Structures are given as structure tokens and as C-alpha cells.
């Protein structure tokens, strides 16, 4: 029912144009942000007619949602055998994604829309954060089994706190150290209480 079934007559939609549109959308989103970005600018950069975009998407929201969707990365579940090594991997992973212009603008979009309509925030939560939150639960579970953590802690709450700290560091970048180092230090503070008493360092 997918590619093999080419029953529609007429010229098919160009996959090349489609890719170009998504690419241009992401680039502009990162450069100027959602509000400032115009359909005209997207079509110009993609080298396609405005019509081609309007034929595919009926709103900018729809287009951007699809563009972001198209680059969704696989969820990583680190398993180094040690909690802090796992966390370091997560930090590096988060750094790559969220320190990019696109990452910043995505976050900005979510927040500004969060007050009036919660569309983007909902989508982002469900499609991006939720799976990672669940993957993180596995990491925590392993740490508990290795006796690195207290067993009664809420992994979801830990994930949220970690995310919050990272988000804050994204907006107000540390002056005297790198983002990763700063986040690592903050998470260490967070986990001090989460660690078993035997694991004081």
C-alpha cells in the first residue's frame, strides 16, 4: 500500500522538492525563528515555487512540525555499566542537539506557544521528551540494580530536573566553564542526594 502501489495518474510530487522544502525550513527556523520566517523565504531558498509548498501544507505550523519530525533522532540508551558514565553520554548527546541554532529556536518556539496554544509543547513532549524519559528510566533502573542509587527514587522526576538544569544552562550559558562541564557539576549536585550513602563520591 506504499510505494509499489502507484495508482494515481498524473505527475507525482517531487521527492527532491520535498526534501529541499524541509531542509530550507529547518535552516530558516534556526536562523530567524518561527515568527520571522516566511513561506516566501522558504520557497526561495528551497528553489521551489510557493505553490508547491501551499500544495503540501496548509499552514506554517504544519510545515514546521513535519520538518522537525523529519530529523527526529533515535533514542539513545547508554549502558556503560556505570551511572556517571551513562550520564556523561547523555550530557554529550544533549549538548550536540540543543546547542545548535535549530535546537534553540525549537525550544523558543515551544515556550512562546506554551502560553497561548500548547500545540508545540504537547507535540514536543509526546514525540521527543516522553520517549527519552522512558529510556532514562532504564538507565536509572540499571543503576539501582548495581546498587548505585536509592531504590525508591522517581526516575521521571530526576529526568525532569536534569532537563530543567540543561535548559537553564542553554539559555544562560556559563561564563567560566563549558556547557557540558557546568551541567555535569549541577547534575552531580542533584545526584548527591540520589546516590546511596555508601557512594559518597
Partner DNA sequence: TTATTACGATACGATACTGTTTCGTAATTT
Partner DNA sequence: AAATTACGAAACAGTATCGTATCGTAATAA
Which residues form the interface with DNA (CB under 7 A)? 6-14, 17-18, 38-41, 47-52, 54-56, 59-60
CB-based burial of residue 28 (10 Å sphere; 0-12 exposed, 13-18 middle, 19+ buried)? buried
**H/E run at residue 184:** helix 179-194
Q: Contact with a second copy (CB under 8 A): which of 4, 8, 58, 116?
A: 116
In whole angstroms, what is the distance from residue 155 CA to residue 136 CA?
7
Q: Could you tell which of a second copy, DNA, none binds residue 139, using a CB distance below 5 to 8 A set by kind?
A: none
Grid coordinates 536509572 are at which residue?
140
Total residues in contact with a second copy, by rule CB under 8 A? 47
Nearer to a second copy, 52 or 101 (CB): 101
Cell numbers standing for residue 78 = 547508554
Radius of gyration of the chain (CA): 21
Q: Contact with a second copy (CB under 8 A): which of 108, 123, 137, 138?
A: 108
Binding mask 16-55 for a second copy (x = CB under 8 A): --------------xxxx-xx-------------------
Nearer to a second copy, 44 or 129 (CB): 129
User: According to CB under 8 A, which residues from 133 to 172 bind a second copy?
Assistant: 153-154, 157-158, 160-161, 163-172
Q: Could you tell which of DNA, a second copy, none binds residue 49, using a CB distance below 5 to 8 A set by kind?
A: DNA
**Hey, is 199 helix, strand or coil?**
coil
**Entry field: residues in the chain:** 201
Amino acid at each position: 500500500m506504499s510505494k509499489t502501489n502507484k495508482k494515481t495518474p498524473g505527475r507525482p510530487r517531487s521527492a527532491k522538492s520535498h526534501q529541499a522544502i524541509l531542509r530550507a525550513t529547518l535552516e530558516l527556523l534556526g536562523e530567524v525563528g518561527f515568527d520571522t520566517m516566511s513561506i516566501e523565504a522558504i520557497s526561495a531558498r528551497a528553489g521551489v515555487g510557493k505553490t508547491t509548498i501551499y500544495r503540501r501544507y496548509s499552514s506554517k505550523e504544519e510545515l514546521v512540525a513535519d520538518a522537525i519530525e523529519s530529523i527526529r533522532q533515535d533514542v539513545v540508551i547508554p549502558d556503560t555499566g556505570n551511572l556517571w558514565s551513562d550520564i556523561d553520554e547523555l550530557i554529550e548527546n544533549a549538548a550536540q542537539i540543543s546547542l545548535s541554532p535549530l535546537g534553540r529556536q525549537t525550544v523558543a518556539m515551544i515556550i512562546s506557544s506554551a502560553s497561548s496554544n500548547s500545540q508545540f509543547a504537547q507535540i514536543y513532549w509526546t514525540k521527543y521528551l516522553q520517549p527519552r524519559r522512558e529510556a532514562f528510566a532504564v538507565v536509572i533502573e540499571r543503576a539501582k540494580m548495581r546498587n548505585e542509587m536509592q531504590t525508591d527514587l522517581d526516575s521521571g522526576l530526576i529526568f525532569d530536573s536534569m532537563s530543567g538544569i540543561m535548559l537553564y544552562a542553554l539559555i544562560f550559558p556559563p561564563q567560566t566553564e563549558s556547557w557540558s562541564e557546568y551541567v555535569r557539576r549541577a547534575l552531580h549536585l542533584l545526584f548527591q542526594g540520589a546516590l546511596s550513602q555508601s557512594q559518597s563520591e
